[in-house]
Structure 1
Amino acid sequence: MKWNSSDVDLYNQSKEYIDTAIIPLISVSVDSDFKHTVSKGEFISLVSTELERQLKGRVFLFPSFSYLKNSSTVVEDLSKWGEELQKEFKHVIFLTSDEKLKDKGGDDQNGQLIWLPSMPLEHMDDQLKRKLLQDQIEQILNILLQSWNKS
Protein backbone atom coordinates (compact mmCIF):
# COMPACT_ATOMS: atom_id res chain seq x y z
CA MET A 1 0.00 0.00 0.00
CA LYS A 2 1.15 3.47 -0.82
CA TRP A 3 0.78 6.96 0.51
CA ASN A 4 -2.57 7.77 -1.11
CA SER A 5 -6.15 8.13 0.11
CA SER A 6 -7.55 4.94 -1.40
CA ASP A 7 -4.73 2.81 0.03
CA VAL A 8 -5.19 4.41 3.45
CA ASP A 9 -8.86 3.36 3.31
CA LEU A 10 -7.72 -0.20 2.55
CA TYR A 11 -5.15 0.00 5.32
CA ASN A 12 -7.79 1.07 7.85
CA GLN A 13 -9.91 -1.94 6.87
CA SER A 14 -7.08 -4.46 7.23
CA LYS A 15 -4.59 -3.04 9.77
CA GLU A 16 -4.01 -6.41 11.39
CA TYR A 17 -2.26 -7.70 8.25
CA ILE A 18 -0.09 -4.67 7.46
CA ASP A 19 2.68 -4.61 10.02
CA THR A 20 5.64 -3.14 8.10
CA ALA A 21 6.40 0.46 7.16
CA ILE A 22 8.94 1.08 4.41
CA ILE A 23 10.60 4.47 4.10
CA PRO A 24 12.96 5.18 1.19
CA LEU A 25 15.79 7.54 2.17
CA ILE A 26 16.91 9.97 -0.51
CA SER A 27 19.90 12.26 -0.04
CA VAL A 28 19.84 15.58 -1.86
CA SER A 29 22.85 17.56 -3.04
CA VAL A 30 23.73 19.73 -6.00
CA ASP A 31 27.49 19.49 -5.57
CA SER A 32 29.93 17.99 -8.06
CA ASP A 33 28.43 14.55 -7.34
CA PHE A 34 24.92 15.72 -8.30
CA LYS A 35 24.18 13.10 -10.95
CA HIS A 36 25.44 10.22 -8.81
CA THR A 37 23.31 11.40 -5.89
CA VAL A 38 20.23 11.57 -8.12
CA SER A 39 21.01 8.11 -9.52
CA LYS A 40 21.16 6.61 -6.02
CA GLY A 41 17.81 8.18 -5.15
CA GLU A 42 16.25 6.93 -8.36
CA PHE A 43 17.48 3.41 -7.62
CA ILE A 44 16.06 3.39 -4.08
CA SER A 45 12.73 4.73 -5.37
CA LEU A 46 12.48 1.95 -7.95
CA VAL A 47 13.38 -0.75 -5.42
CA SER A 48 10.87 0.62 -2.90
CA THR A 49 8.06 0.76 -5.44
CA GLU A 50 8.72 -2.78 -6.61
CA LEU A 51 8.96 -4.06 -3.04
CA GLU A 52 5.58 -2.50 -2.25
CA ARG A 53 4.09 -4.03 -5.39
CA GLN A 54 5.25 -7.51 -4.45
CA LEU A 55 4.25 -7.22 -0.78
CA LYS A 56 1.01 -5.28 -1.15
CA GLY A 57 -1.20 -6.17 1.77
CA ARG A 58 1.73 -6.65 4.15
CA VAL A 59 3.70 -3.39 3.84
CA PHE A 60 2.90 0.30 3.68
CA LEU A 61 5.22 2.44 1.54
CA PHE A 62 5.69 5.93 2.91
CA PRO A 63 6.86 8.88 0.84
CA SER A 64 10.59 9.22 0.48
CA PHE A 65 12.41 10.92 3.33
CA SER A 66 14.65 13.48 1.64
CA TYR A 67 17.53 15.08 3.48
CA LEU A 68 20.57 17.15 2.69
CA LYS A 69 23.52 14.91 1.90
CA ASN A 70 25.73 16.50 4.55
CA SER A 71 23.05 16.72 7.24
CA SER A 72 24.34 16.05 10.73
CA THR A 73 20.89 15.31 12.15
CA VAL A 74 19.59 12.67 9.77
CA VAL A 75 20.23 9.71 12.13
CA GLU A 76 18.37 11.49 14.94
CA ASP A 77 15.54 12.36 12.53
CA LEU A 78 15.25 8.72 11.46
CA SER A 79 15.10 7.64 15.08
CA LYS A 80 12.17 10.03 15.60
CA TRP A 81 10.45 8.74 12.48
CA GLY A 82 10.92 5.16 13.64
CA GLU A 83 9.60 5.96 17.09
CA GLU A 84 6.49 7.59 15.63
CA LEU A 85 5.82 4.85 13.08
CA GLN A 86 6.23 2.07 15.63
CA LYS A 87 3.08 3.35 17.30
CA GLU A 88 1.25 1.90 14.29
CA PHE A 89 3.63 -0.62 12.65
CA LYS A 90 5.51 -3.52 14.21
CA HIS A 91 8.40 -3.25 11.73
CA VAL A 92 9.94 -0.05 10.36
CA ILE A 93 12.36 -0.43 7.45
CA PHE A 94 14.50 2.37 6.03
CA LEU A 95 15.98 1.76 2.56
CA THR A 96 19.05 3.70 1.44
CA SER A 97 22.04 3.72 -0.89
CA ASP A 98 23.79 6.38 1.18
CA GLU A 99 27.15 5.07 2.38
CA LYS A 100 27.28 7.69 5.13
CA LEU A 101 24.11 6.32 6.72
CA LYS A 102 25.45 2.81 6.47
CA ASP A 103 28.64 3.92 8.21
CA LYS A 104 26.82 5.92 10.90
CA GLY A 105 24.62 2.95 11.69
CA GLY A 106 20.95 3.73 11.42
CA ASP A 107 19.69 0.58 13.13
CA ASP A 108 18.23 1.02 16.55
CA GLN A 109 15.17 -0.03 18.48
CA ASN A 110 13.08 2.31 16.30
CA GLY A 111 13.77 0.80 12.91
CA GLN A 112 16.03 -1.21 10.67
CA LEU A 113 18.27 0.36 8.06
CA ILE A 114 18.82 -1.65 4.89
CA TRP A 115 21.66 -0.37 2.75
CA LEU A 116 21.74 -1.29 -0.93
CA PRO A 117 24.62 -0.59 -3.27
CA SER A 118 23.35 1.71 -5.98
CA MET A 119 23.31 0.48 -9.54
CA PRO A 120 23.51 3.04 -12.36
CA LEU A 121 20.37 2.14 -14.31
CA GLU A 122 20.51 5.00 -16.78
CA HIS A 123 22.06 3.11 -19.72
CA MET A 124 20.82 -0.41 -18.99
CA ASP A 125 18.23 -2.11 -21.10
CA ASP A 126 14.89 -2.82 -19.44
CA GLN A 127 15.43 -6.56 -19.08
CA LEU A 128 18.72 -6.10 -17.22
CA LYS A 129 17.15 -3.40 -15.01
CA ARG A 130 14.33 -5.77 -14.04
CA LYS A 131 16.82 -8.54 -13.26
CA LEU A 132 18.96 -6.29 -11.04
CA LEU A 133 15.91 -4.92 -9.25
CA GLN A 134 14.56 -8.41 -8.69
CA ASP A 135 17.89 -9.55 -7.22
CA GLN A 136 17.80 -6.62 -4.78
CA ILE A 137 14.15 -7.34 -3.89
CA GLU A 138 15.01 -10.97 -3.12
CA GLN A 139 17.75 -9.88 -0.71
CA ILE A 140 15.37 -7.48 1.04
CA LEU A 141 12.68 -10.17 1.20
CA ASN A 142 15.13 -12.45 3.01
CA ILE A 143 15.84 -9.72 5.56
CA LEU A 144 12.13 -9.01 6.00
CA LEU A 145 11.29 -12.70 6.41
CA GLN A 146 13.92 -13.02 9.14
CA SER A 147 12.51 -9.95 10.88
CA TRP A 148 8.93 -11.20 10.58
CA ASN A 149 9.87 -14.65 11.86
CA LYS A 150 11.50 -13.19 14.98
CA SER A 151 8.27 -11.61 16.06
Structure 2
Amino acid sequence: MQWNTNELENWEELRQFVDTALLPLYLYRSHFSVQEHVLRMNYLLNVAAGIEQKLKGRVLLFPMNYHFTDEPLVQKVPEEFTHAVLLHFSSDSFRPADSHADVLLLSVGEEELDSALRFEVTVDVLYKEVIRYWQKNRAQ
Protein backbone atom coordinates (compact mmCIF):
# COMPACT_ATOMS: atom_id res chain seq x y z
CA MET A 1 0.00 0.00 0.00
CA GLN A 2 1.33 3.40 -0.93
CA TRP A 3 0.79 6.70 0.83
CA ASN A 4 -1.71 8.21 -1.58
CA THR A 5 -5.42 9.03 -1.61
CA ASN A 6 -6.45 6.16 -3.87
CA GLU A 7 -4.77 3.44 -1.86
CA LEU A 8 -5.55 4.82 1.59
CA GLU A 9 -9.32 5.03 0.95
CA ASN A 10 -9.69 1.54 2.43
CA TRP A 11 -7.17 2.05 5.24
CA GLU A 12 -9.52 1.10 8.08
CA GLU A 13 -10.41 -2.20 6.41
CA LEU A 14 -6.80 -3.08 5.56
CA ARG A 15 -5.09 -1.73 8.69
CA GLN A 16 -5.15 -5.10 10.47
CA PHE A 17 -3.01 -6.65 7.71
CA VAL A 18 -0.46 -3.84 7.28
CA ASP A 19 2.16 -4.24 10.00
CA THR A 20 5.27 -2.86 8.29
CA ALA A 21 6.21 0.75 7.53
CA LEU A 22 8.63 1.17 4.61
CA LEU A 23 10.48 4.48 4.94
CA PRO A 24 12.76 5.61 2.08
CA LEU A 25 15.35 8.04 3.49
CA TYR A 26 17.48 10.39 1.43
CA LEU A 27 20.44 12.53 2.46
CA TYR A 28 20.89 15.56 0.25
CA ARG A 29 24.63 16.08 -0.04
CA SER A 30 26.30 19.17 -1.47
CA HIS A 31 28.90 17.26 -3.51
CA PHE A 32 26.27 15.83 -5.91
CA SER A 33 24.88 17.86 -8.81
CA VAL A 34 21.16 18.46 -9.07
CA GLN A 35 21.00 15.91 -11.92
CA GLU A 36 22.72 13.30 -9.74
CA HIS A 37 20.27 14.00 -6.91
CA VAL A 38 17.31 13.56 -9.24
CA LEU A 39 18.68 10.23 -10.49
CA ARG A 40 19.45 9.00 -6.97
CA MET A 41 16.11 10.08 -5.47
CA ASN A 42 14.11 8.55 -8.30
CA TYR A 43 16.09 5.33 -8.05
CA LEU A 44 15.50 5.07 -4.31
CA LEU A 45 11.78 5.81 -4.72
CA ASN A 46 11.49 3.22 -7.49
CA VAL A 47 13.27 0.59 -5.39
CA ALA A 48 10.92 1.34 -2.49
CA ALA A 49 7.90 1.08 -4.80
CA GLY A 50 9.22 -2.19 -6.22
CA ILE A 51 9.59 -3.65 -2.73
CA GLU A 52 6.10 -2.46 -1.79
CA GLN A 53 4.61 -4.06 -4.92
CA LYS A 54 6.18 -7.42 -4.12
CA LEU A 55 4.96 -7.24 -0.51
CA LYS A 56 1.63 -5.58 -1.21
CA GLY A 57 -0.95 -6.03 1.51
CA ARG A 58 1.45 -6.03 4.43
CA VAL A 59 3.56 -2.89 3.83
CA LEU A 60 2.73 0.81 3.83
CA LEU A 61 5.21 2.78 1.74
CA PHE A 62 5.69 6.23 3.25
CA PRO A 63 6.75 9.27 1.20
CA MET A 64 10.47 9.93 0.80
CA ASN A 65 12.02 11.56 3.86
CA TYR A 66 14.67 14.11 2.84
CA HIS A 67 17.46 15.25 5.12
CA PHE A 68 19.82 18.12 4.36
CA THR A 69 22.94 17.20 6.28
CA ASP A 70 26.15 15.21 6.05
CA GLU A 71 25.86 14.01 9.65
CA PRO A 72 24.64 10.53 10.63
CA LEU A 73 20.97 10.71 11.53
CA VAL A 74 18.66 9.12 14.05
CA GLN A 75 15.37 8.32 12.35
CA LYS A 76 12.08 7.99 14.19
CA VAL A 77 9.67 5.34 12.99
CA PRO A 78 5.87 5.29 13.21
CA GLU A 79 4.88 3.68 16.50
CA GLU A 80 1.68 2.05 15.26
CA PHE A 81 3.56 -0.51 13.15
CA THR A 82 5.08 -3.74 14.44
CA HIS A 83 7.94 -3.51 11.94
CA ALA A 84 9.73 -0.67 10.18
CA VAL A 85 12.12 -0.83 7.25
CA LEU A 86 14.49 2.09 6.67
CA LEU A 87 15.67 2.15 3.05
CA HIS A 88 18.68 4.30 2.21
CA PHE A 89 21.84 4.47 0.11
CA SER A 90 24.80 2.53 1.44
CA SER A 91 26.94 5.66 1.88
CA ASP A 92 24.34 7.29 4.13
CA SER A 93 24.35 6.66 7.84
CA PHE A 94 21.04 6.23 9.66
CA ARG A 95 20.10 4.53 12.85
CA PRO A 96 16.63 4.10 14.28
CA ALA A 97 15.51 6.05 17.32
CA ASP A 98 14.39 3.95 20.26
CA SER A 99 11.08 2.41 19.38
CA HIS A 100 8.86 -0.52 20.23
CA ALA A 101 8.91 -1.51 16.53
CA ASP A 102 11.45 -3.93 15.14
CA VAL A 103 13.56 -1.99 12.64
CA LEU A 104 15.40 -3.31 9.60
CA LEU A 105 17.98 -1.12 7.87
CA LEU A 106 18.22 -1.84 4.14
CA SER A 107 20.93 -0.16 2.12
CA VAL A 108 20.90 0.32 -1.63
CA GLY A 109 24.11 0.27 -3.66
CA GLU A 110 25.00 3.40 -5.59
CA GLU A 111 26.49 1.86 -8.71
CA GLU A 112 24.79 1.65 -12.11
CA LEU A 113 21.66 3.55 -11.11
CA ASP A 114 20.61 3.69 -14.75
CA SER A 115 20.75 -0.10 -15.24
CA ALA A 116 17.37 -1.85 -15.48
CA LEU A 117 18.97 -5.21 -14.65
CA ARG A 118 20.67 -3.79 -11.57
CA PHE A 119 17.35 -2.30 -10.47
CA GLU A 120 15.50 -5.62 -10.81
CA VAL A 121 18.20 -7.50 -8.91
CA THR A 122 18.23 -4.87 -6.15
CA VAL A 123 14.45 -5.04 -5.66
CA ASP A 124 14.55 -8.85 -5.70
CA VAL A 125 17.32 -9.06 -3.09
CA LEU A 126 15.81 -6.42 -0.80
CA TYR A 127 12.25 -7.71 -0.76
CA LYS A 128 13.61 -11.16 0.14
CA GLU A 129 15.53 -9.51 3.00
CA VAL A 130 12.26 -8.14 4.35
CA ILE A 131 10.69 -11.61 4.19
CA ARG A 132 13.68 -13.10 6.05
CA TYR A 133 13.35 -10.33 8.63
CA TRP A 134 9.67 -11.15 9.16
CA GLN A 135 10.41 -14.86 9.44
CA LYS A 136 13.20 -14.28 11.94
CA ASN A 137 10.99 -12.07 14.10
CA ARG A 138 8.12 -14.53 13.96
CA ALA A 139 10.41 -17.34 15.11
CA GLN A 140 11.51 -15.39 18.20
**TM-score, normalised to structure 1's length?**
0.75
Change (3 A) 1:28 1:88: same
Q: Is the counterpart of residue 100 in structure 1 residue 88 in structure 2? A: no
Given that residues 104 and 133 in structure 2 are in contact (C-alpha distance below 8 angstroms), is that contact kept between their aligned partners in structure 1?
Answer: no
Q: Matches of 2:39 and 2:110 in 1, distance apart? A: 8
Map of 2:4 onto structure 1: 4
Match of 1:67 in 2: 67
Match in the other structure for 2:25: 25
Checking the alignment, whether the CA contact within 8 Å between 2:3 and 2:62 is kept in structure 1 is yes
TM-score by structure 2 length?
0.80
Structure 1, unpaired ranges of 5+:
none
Q: 1:21-60, aligned counterparts within 5 Å? A: 21-29=21-29, 31-34=30-33, 35-60=35-60
> 8 Å contact 2:27–2:92 — kept in the other structure?
no
Check the 8 A contact 1:11/1:18 in 2, yes or no. Answer: no
Q: What is the one-letter code of the residue matched to 2:23?
A: I
- Deviation, 1:99, is 0.9
Pick aligned residue for 1:145 from 123, 126, 131: 131
Q: Please state whether the residue corresponding to 2:67 is helix, strand or coil.
A: strand
In terms of mean alpha carbon deviation, does 45-54 or 105-114 score higher?
Answer: 105-114
Identity %, equivalent residues: 20
1:118 to 110, 117, 133: 110
Q: Which deviates further from its counterpart, 91-100 or 36-45?
A: 36-45
Contact kept? 1:106, 1:112, Cα under 8 Å = no
Q: CA RMSD in A?
A: 2.2
User: For the Cα contact (< 8 Å) 1:41–1:97, is it kept in 2?
Assistant: no
Show CA shifts across 1:48-80 (max 9, x none): 11111222211100000001142x3x622x1xx
Structure showing the higher strand proportion among its residues: 2
Name 1:135's counterpart in structure 2. Answer: 121
Question: What is the number of equivalent residue pairs in this alignment?
Answer: 133
SS at match of 2:73: helix
Q: Distance in 2 between matches of 1:69 and 1:98?
A: 16
Q: In proportion to residue count, which structure has more helix?
A: 1
Deviation of 1:2 after TM superposition, in Å, equals: 1.0
Contact 1:21–1:91 (CA under 8 A) maintained in structure 2:
yes
- Which letter does structure 1 place at the counterpart of 2:32? D
- Opposite residue 86 of structure 2, the aligned amino acid is F
